[in-house]
Amino acid sequence: MPNIIVCVKHSYDVQQLRYDKTSRKFLLAEAPKKMSDMDRRAVEEALRIKEKHGGKVIALTVGNQDSIDTIRQAYAMGVDEGYAVIDKDFESYDTNNVALILAQAIRKIGNFDLVLFGSASTDGYSRQVPPKVAMYLGLPFINFVREIRLEGNYVLATSDYEDGLYTYRVKLPALIAVTLDINEPRTPTPAAILRASRKPVTQWTLKDLGVGALKKYFEVLDSYMPETPRKHVIFDASSDDKIPDAVQKLIDALRREGVI
Amino acid sequence: MSTPIFYPKDTLVSFTKDEIMFRESVREFAQKYIAPKWIEIDEEASKDPMKIPLDLIKKVADQGLLCIPCSDKYGGQGGTYTMATIAIEELAYADPAVALAVYTLLNNGWPFALQLFGKEEVAQEIIPHVSKGEAFFGIASTEPQGGSDVANIRMTAKKSGNVYVFNGEKAYISGVGEVQVLPWGGGWFLIARTGEAGHRGLSAFAFLAKKNGVIRKGWYPTVYHDIGRHGLTTGGFKCENFELEQEYLIGEENKGFYYVMEGFNLARILVAAATVGGARWLLEQAAQWFKTRKLFGRYIASFQGISFKFAELYAKYEAARYFVYRAARLADKIYIEKDPAYNPKDLNVPVALAKMYGPELAAELGQEVMKWYGAYAYTKESPIHRAWLGLFSYTIGAEGAQNIMRYIIARDLLGSEYVRD
């Protein structure tokens, strides 16, 4: 019966993210947050594995105080235990820092067979945290996974790379990062949401994990909405006889842009 | 396709974290399973009202959206009335013809009224089946001679030994088809005459026309052809010596008028929530149109005849939404939190405001959006008329006519002695 730790991020809901029209900077202070989309799939997959094989599903996050909301969401979906590493400076950490903190938390939880992640977070989308956690923990790592099967002490995971599907078989414990294609996550019922708000979330600080000063390897200097200027080229195809000429001009223009 | 509007920030109509998570959950569910199907359901059931979307009813049940405020000991969700309101608003946003929203609201409001006023064992028998989507439980009050004049209901229920024997007719009742096709069956919170003339001679019953999959003797249903909101049946039924065991009497004999009035208050909040959800869909249809449609070389919203009307209707939408959630919060104070500072009569005016305002806003908005879209809206290819016709039905009746709402508001604010003949 596998014990599964699922790492979840409390991400900005990018679909509701607005930006200042002049500076083009994101209005982060007012942006709603939610569990990262791929992480939700990871929770769903863990719950499906539990439904089939038994065991326990544990949700873990690192973030600001509000990241506890994401653990509550995981509880509403059906996880058994929830942990949150809370640090007010979380937004300033790079992916190495986050990976190190998560690795320490996973060690402290202990007794796990599988660690699941979403391959990328909805907001940062760096895709760097899962492989770095695997590195810190010395675990085999499979990325971009769209199918998971457990067979005894082994896990079979099918990865979707652009040139094809690859199925890997590795011995547990292992770390797997999943994509949006792996499943359709469940939507919690009212009763499950109400139960979730009564469940305890274990909160740790960096000190609890024995994590000292964190060295930053890189820093995000700026993030803004890029401008996408349009050329507004119009080809006249207003009558049948003009269509062949318009089509030819369209093809020429697309060639000039290098898109065909 | 609709364009989401960046709605203004709000602190007056605000929600708890649980409620926000619940809204996200319902919205995702409804957009995934209901939004892609509502037009097909509306079209198919317009030809044959018995084309009831049983698969979606089951999905709604599995998602825990029926019997939300009912206790978990009856298989309910143990939630709040505000949660039920959120669910109905989101379902109507996904299905603005409101068939599924109204199915869901009836099977929240009336099972909850049964829990409040009915016998424990009857609630335990019926609510779990409603909650699982195996049975329907709505309201049967209206009769062929009218619906608003509840005190003069004619259907009789005469006590004979251990049973009540029903004779008479109900008309314009939601769920007449659903009761017949759902596996367990179900029925209505039904009001019938057991005593003297007037409202003091009425009793309420958990009237099961079908139970354990068997339609009971003496019940003769008819399903009507409505002009909109297809996918939820409306019909009538005759009772000819229909026998119902006495335990299905709700509360005390001859007190049914009072129970049904409280039940109406609860259900009206959800009716108004459905019209607000449908109105949001209509607003976003308008926004989509305004961002693409040009006339005389200008976007049509640059004509103030259009943009000012849009602004006015938006103001009404916000007001309707405020009325709805204020009423839902009050219902929670009274029935969920059981706060002694509030009593059921406190709901009368807030609920009547919501039920008066929401349907009228939605119907007016639907009509305006039809005009803004022009001739395309008058074709069957456009979905807007489906929303308009579905929402319009709630300006006619359903849990109380619009002028009854006006009467309640005036009566409670001025005192009944000044508003009666």
**What's the rounded mean pLDDT across residues B26-30?**
97
Phi, psi of B341 (to 5 degrees): -75, -10
Asked if B206 and B353 sit in the same domain, the reply is no
Asked if B23 and B37 sit in the same domain, the reply is yes
* CA A6/CA A43 separation, integer angstroms: 6
Q: At what angle do helices B17-33 and A68-77 cross, to 10 degrees?
A: 50
Residue in chain B closest to A15 (alpha carbons) equals B4
Higher-scoring residue by pLDDT: A91, B3: A91
Per-residue pLDDT tens over the stretch B76-95: 999 999 999 999 999 999 99
* CA B391/CA B394 separation, integer angstroms: 6
* CA B137/CA A142 separation, integer angstroms: 51
Residue in chain B closest to A18 (alpha carbons) equals B6
A&B contacts, CB < 8 Å: 51
CATH code assigned at B329? 1.20.140.10
Closest C-alpha to B86, from B349, B250, B332, B254: B332
Written as one letter, the residue type at A85 is: V
Residue in chain A closest to B72 (alpha carbons) equals A191
Rounded to the nearest 10 degrees, how much is the dihedral formed by the CA atoms of A169, A170, A171, A175? Answer: -130
Asked if B411 and B264 sit in the same domain, the reply is yes
Query: Rounded mean pLDDT of chain B?
Result: 95
Residue-level pLDDT at B2: 64
Asked if B387 and B300 sit in the same domain, the reply is yes
Asked if B30 and B124 sit in the same domain, the reply is yes
Residue B336 C-beta-side C-alpha neighbours within 13 Å: 21
Asked if B225 and B285 sit in the same domain, the reply is no
CATH code assigned at B61? 1.10.540.10
- Interface probe with B: pick from A17, A75, A187, A195, most Cβ of B within 10 Å: A187
Residue-level pLDDT at B421: 62
Angle at A78 between CA A73 and CA A80, to 5 degrees: 100
Asked if B48 and B76 sit in the same domain, the reply is yes
Asked if B197 and B58 sit in the same domain, the reply is no
Residues of B with Cβ-Cβ distance to A192 under 8 angstroms = 64
* CA B147/CA B171 separation, integer angstroms: 9
Asked if B233 and B273 sit in the same domain, the reply is no
Asked if B209 and B291 sit in the same domain, the reply is no
Say if residues B343 and B334 touch (Cβ distance below 8 Å).
Answer: yes
Asked if B282 and B365 sit in the same domain, the reply is yes
Please identify, among B75, B103, B135, the residue that sits at the C-terminal boundary of a domain.
Answer: B135
What is the dihedral sign for C-alpha B210, B211, B215, B220?
A: negative
Residues of A with CB under 8 A from a CB of B: 18, 30, 34, 69, 72-73, 76, 184, 187-194, 196-197
Contact: A34, B77; criterion CB under 8 Å: no
Asked if B337 and B405 sit in the same domain, the reply is yes
Domain coverage including residue B195: 137-254
In a domain, B38, yes or no: yes
Confidence bin at A135 (pLDDT 50/70/90)? very high
Contact: B87, A190; criterion CB under 8 Å: yes
Q: Hey, what are B151's tokens?
A: 């005190």
Contact: B25, A72; criterion CB under 8 Å: no
Contact: B28, A190; criterion CB under 8 Å: no
CA–CA min distance B37, chain A (Å): 18
Could you tell me which residues are beta bridge partners of residue A157?
Answer: A148, A168
Residues of B with Cβ-Cβ distance to A193 under 8 angstroms = 18, 21-22, 25
Please identify, among B135, B167, B190, the residue that sits at the C-terminal boundary of a domain.
Answer: B135
Please identify, among B213, B230, B254, the residue that sits at the C-terminal boundary of a domain.
Answer: B254
Could you tell me which residues are beta bridge partners of residue A34?
Answer: A11
Residue in chain B closest to A69 (alpha carbons) equals B17
Higher-scoring residue by pLDDT: B359, B399: B359
ipTM of this model? 0.89
In a domain, B320, yes or no: yes
CATH code assigned at B151? 2.40.110.10
Closest partner residue to A190 (CB to CB) among B17, B24, B79 is B79
In a domain, B160, yes or no: yes
- CATH number, domain A3-204: 3.40.50.620
Per-residue pLDDT tens over the stretch B134-182: 999 999 999 998 878 888 899 999 999 999 999 999 999 999 999 999 9
**What's the rounded mean pLDDT across residues B177-194?**
97
Closest partner residue to A193 (CB to CB) among B22, B29, B72 is B22
Which ranges constitute the DSSP H helices of B291-401?
A: 304-331, 348-373, 384-396
Contact: A194, B24; criterion CB under 8 Å: no
Residue-level pLDDT at B3: 67
* CA B80/CA B332 separation, integer angstroms: 6
In a domain, B286, yes or no: yes
Does the structure show a pLDDT above 80 at B401?
yes
Say if residues B158 and B165 touch (Cβ distance below 8 Å).
Answer: yes
Q: Say which DSSP state B7 is in.
A: P
Number of domains in chain B: 3
In a domain, B6, yes or no: no
* CA B17/CA B23 separation, integer angstroms: 10
Does the structure show a pLDDT above 70 at B35?
yes
CA B284 to chain CA centroid, Å, is: 23
| Domain-wise residue ranges, chain A | 3-204, 230-260
